[in-house]
Structure 1
Amino acid sequence: MANAAGEKEANSATDLAEKDVSASPSSGSIAEFQGINERALLRKLDIRLLPPLTLLYLLSFLDRSNVGNAKLEGLTSDLKISGDQYLNGLTLYFAGYVLFEIPCNIILKKTTPSKWLPTLTLVWGIVATLLGIVQNYSGYLSSRFFLGVAESGLFPGVVYYVSMWYKREEQNYRICLFFSAASLAGAFGGILAWGIAHMEGVGGYRGWRWIFILEGLLTVVVSAISYFWVYDYPATAKFLTEKEREFIIWRLKNDSDAIRDEKFTWSAVLDSFKDHKVWLYALGFHTMSLPMYTLSLFLPTIIKELGYSAAEAQLLSVPPYAVAFVLMITVSICSEKTRLRAPFMMVFAGVGCIGYIILLTDHRAGVSYVGTIFAAAGIYPAVSLVFSWPAANVSGQTKRAIANALQISIGNCGAVLGTQLYRAESAPQYYLGHGFALGYLIANIFAMGGLWWVLKKENQKKARVRDEKGLRPFVGDIGDDEGEFLGDKDPRWVFQY
């Protein structure tokens, strides 16, 4: 009973987001914000904050995955590298990515988003461009490694950044919108690669070189613009009026730790490593990263091995991502409305399983192609939901920044393994790669079911403590009148699942 009452009380605190503040000036400091339409303000934030972040991630995913398109256009033959050597370059990318995610989020915490995120974009744009002029195996390896290093700070940084602007129940949809750029990059990447490959011989360069050069230069140009396009935090945002700024700070103050004056401490970093739930969030992404990245990196090759030409494979890689994009947006809306993550993740991991079962059991070209659509349709919606989980549940700020980075760092270890699974000798069935992807998706269903159970049990435990001590879930200023705030260990903090 205590748990049910506690969760009902906590949910009531979020209902304000669906109302016009001017219609609810009932008590306390909310009366100061009459005339502010909260829905309109959220739309304003979305329009100002999400487009640059989404564009940066689209370019990031495009620059990391276009190597699969370049391979179809002659990268391996021109550089005189074997299939296994090509896979080593993919592995080194994720090695750099995994090693530098946590350091990058520490730097973000110590600097500002408006400086750090565009700088990362500029650096990886330069590296991505230079991939177009590599002449040998060592150049290929070093370029892929440093591309991973440069891109490592963007995604965990943005997930943390979103948590500093939006309330907990609002973050899921925004992070899903941001991550939808991954599926858009897959769709656009195939079309762009098909078009750019027609530049074969221009300037004495092969078509695959132009894929890297033009897409890398686009990233460099966007990075220069993003220095003026990416904002820091609500307290300094110039596009807001003073009253809007105060209201955003007030609503965050009544929902999370986003506006608390928290200094960076190594003890908070250690606290993130000691929290078993953080490792479960990481396991949730780990069991998804192998299927996601193997699909994004090898989809053009998988389709080509079904019997299609290189040009046809580039274009046929578009529909799976288009379906995934539509489903990501739909699922994120449903998840936000129901305030549930785990059930949706488990269902769509099951959809991905269907895709790989088709790929493993029926080798007719058309049927196998349908399998790739099912795989993308299951993987991408589930991944978008797992990313937003620690952002909503982990508190305080430093611990959350490290948890976001740790989740993606541990998660991408799955991608490191995945880059070695789709070997040339296993074509066209790719039993090893498809089998691992299927196994990982099944493991994800069990892992997310376990995390769901853990969070539910912890909420019940917190509800009993609140009942014994006469406390309530956070529906007002965190730590304002009931003692010191203890972060996500506080009995008043209710986990979302």
Structure 2
Amino acid sequence: MASTPPPLPVENGHVSEKSDITPDSKGDAIESTSINEKALMRKIDSRLLPAVTLLYLCSFLDRSNVGNARLEGLLTDLHMTGNQYLTSLTLFFIGYVLFEVPCNIVLKRTSPRFWLPTMTLVWGTVCTLMGVSQSRIGFLIVRFFLGVAESGFFAGVVFYLSMWYKRDEVHFRVALFFSAASLAGAFGGILAWGIAHMRGVGGYAGWRWIFILEGLLTVLVGAGAYLFIFNYPDTAGILTRDERIFIQHRLQEDNDSVRDEAFNWTNVSKAIKDPKIWLYGFSFHTVALPLYTLTLFLPTIIRELGYTAAEAQLLTVPPYAFAFVLTLTIAYLSERSQIRAPFIIGCSSFAIIGYIILLTDHRPGVSYVGVFFAAGGIYPSVALVFSWPSNNVSGQTKRAVATAMMNSIGTSGAILGTQLYRAETAPSFYLGHLFAMCYLVLNVSLTAILWRVLNKANKRKESGIENHRLESLSENEWLGDEDPRYRFRA
């Protein structure tokens, strides 16, 4: 019994550029084009992945550099208390969560080439404004709008990649793209250490230059992104006409990305009503809190171990570099084995060991080892969790909304996390570490439940109980992930 959709029309109705693939093209003989599939995929990888990874590196750098700025006098200059600083972190995630789904709907109704660079330009500008904020209230307002501006990017790129690659190919690409988060952490520490030496230049403190220079860098990258971000395969200028036809035929055998699916609210409703989408969301929720607390507070955690501010900036680099290597390694192994859940459980358990170390032994050297375990487990786990729906949700609108819902539900965990690492709990930060560890335990449990749900759904489809739903379908009709021929990847 097939696990993929039936052949679908190659026309694509959700981009503004005109496709040169006509209905007659779908009958063209692919063999005659002499296209080397592996070489074509390397070409696509080299044009798509560096571009979106660079944009996400800017995104994560601009949301997390506030942790570096704190060490350089942000709170003192803006007369902020520790709790008011935590409020600024919370406001970012409130804006992020509120606008996640609307932003992905805009992406579906416009095009990646317009929407992704536009978001980048906006949040780069907002990041720059944080550097010139003259009051506590102004900084809080700008921080909220940074969350709004960044809200649709991560989920949007995951949906975008799902329109280019087969189901089994998306996972590793998403993990590679997400690895920019750990790179941002590594580069952020080095950049903050270097930029902080500009204190006094132009009469500005070092923390202001961190926001200004990193924000301006994002603006430049965003402006250039209009040239190096492409739309979907049927109109992308990086492909020849024969390559477009080849990609269309390749994808129509595997997923719904070449289907001419117009936006409608019924498909939005399907995503909202699907219990599996909520399970994906809460699975991400339980790793998002540890992810963002580690990202936002790591410089402070390391400084409280007894290091200077400059040393703390530089000591954030090795754990992130370790997380980067593990993220790619685990993603590769997961893709090769076509297994998701066991790797997620293993990575989250690895991070739990790190928090046990942080909670039980407060010697600086030992605690620093605990940071490696925490970062090395959290980042691969997040990459695996977030790429899961791109393998298992069929229907373009449903997948776009599901990805946004998952990110919104997940990121709401970060809202709680921003309030956990309070100054009065330093240097042990017992409350924050304990919450992060408990959330990871919940992640292991939810992943096991989702693993069972997906396997049970597959067994039901394989039993033939639902085959009666196929009787009224035409040859090219497809019921999305509800179709009896569809199989979930667990």
The two structures have a TM-score, normalised by structure 2, of 0.93
Amino acid at match of 1:215: E
Tell me, yes or no, if the aligned pair for 1:199 and 1:207 is still in contact at 8 Å.
Answer: yes
Distance 1:470 1:136, change over 3 A: closer
Partner of 1:45 in structure 2?
Answer: 44
Q: What's the offset of the Cα at 1:424?
A: 0.2
Tell me, yes or no, if the aligned pair for 2:357 and 2:366 is still in contact at 8 Å.
Answer: yes
Mapped partners of 2:370, 2:478: distance in 1: 49
Within 5 Å, which residues of 2 pair with 1:243-322? 243-322=242-321
Within 5 Å, which residues of 2 pair with 1:337-376? 337-376=336-375
- Structure 1: give runs of 5+ residues left out of the alignment: 1-5, 14-27, 472-478
Q: What's the offset of the Cα at 1:466?
A: 7.1
Mapped partners of 2:63, 2:335: distance in 1: 30
Mapped partners of 2:90, 2:357: distance in 1: 27
Partner of 1:488 in structure 2?
Answer: 481
Tell me, yes or no, if the aligned pair for 1:466 and 1:492 is still in contact at 8 Å.
Answer: no
Distance 1:470 1:56, change over 3 A: closer
Q: What's the offset of the Cα at 1:238?
A: 1.2
Tell me, yes or no, if the aligned pair for 1:122 and 1:219 is still in contact at 8 Å.
Answer: yes
Within 5 Å, which residues of 2 pair with 1:156-305? 156-305=155-304
Mapped partners of 1:372, 1:294: distance in 2: 12
Mapped partners of 1:189, 1:94: distance in 2: 20
Mapped partners of 2:482, 2:466: distance in 1: 16
Mapped partners of 1:194, 1:470: distance in 2: 61
Within 5 Å, which residues of 2 pair with 1:288-437? 288-437=287-436
Within 5 Å, which residues of 2 pair with 1:31-70? 32=31, 35-70=34-69
Tell me, yes or no, if the aligned pair for 2:33 and 2:242 is still in contact at 8 Å.
Answer: no
Q: What's the offset of the Cα at 1:365?
A: 0.3
SS in 1 for 2:227: coil
Between Structure 1 and Structure 2, how many residues are aligned?
468
Amino acid at match of 1:251: R
Partner of 1:80 in structure 2?
Answer: 79
Tell me, yes or no, if the aligned pair for 2:467 and 2:484 is still in contact at 8 Å.
Answer: no
SS in 2 for 1:411: helix
Q: What's the offset of the Cα at 1:31?
A: 5.3
The two structures have a TM-score, normalised by structure 1, of 0.92
Tell me, yes or no, if the aligned pair for 1:183 and 1:380 is still in contact at 8 Å.
Answer: yes
Distance 1:225 1:36, change over 3 A: same
Partner of 1:134 in structure 2?
Answer: 133
Mapped partners of 1:468, 1:162: distance in 2: 31
SS in 2 for 1:340: coil
Amino acid at match of 1:218: L
- When the two chains are superposed, the root-mean-square deviation of aligned CA atoms in Å is 1.7
Deviations 1:136-156 (A, max 9, x none): 110110011000000001001
Mapped partners of 1:322, 1:176: distance in 2: 15
Q: What's the offset of the Cα at 1:29?
A: 7.2
Amino acid at match of 1:289: A
- Structure 2: give runs of 5+ residues left out of the alignment: 7-26
Mapped partners of 1:341, 1:183: distance in 2: 21
Tell me, yes or no, if the aligned pair for 2:289 and 2:417 is still in contact at 8 Å.
Answer: yes
Deviations 1:343-401 (A, max 9, x none): 10000000000000000000000000000010000000010011111111111000000
Q: What's the offset of the Cα at 1:484?
A: 2.5
Q: What's the offset of the Cα at 1:132?
A: 0.4
Amino acid at match of 1:415: A
Q: What's the offset of the Cα at 1:75?
A: 0.1
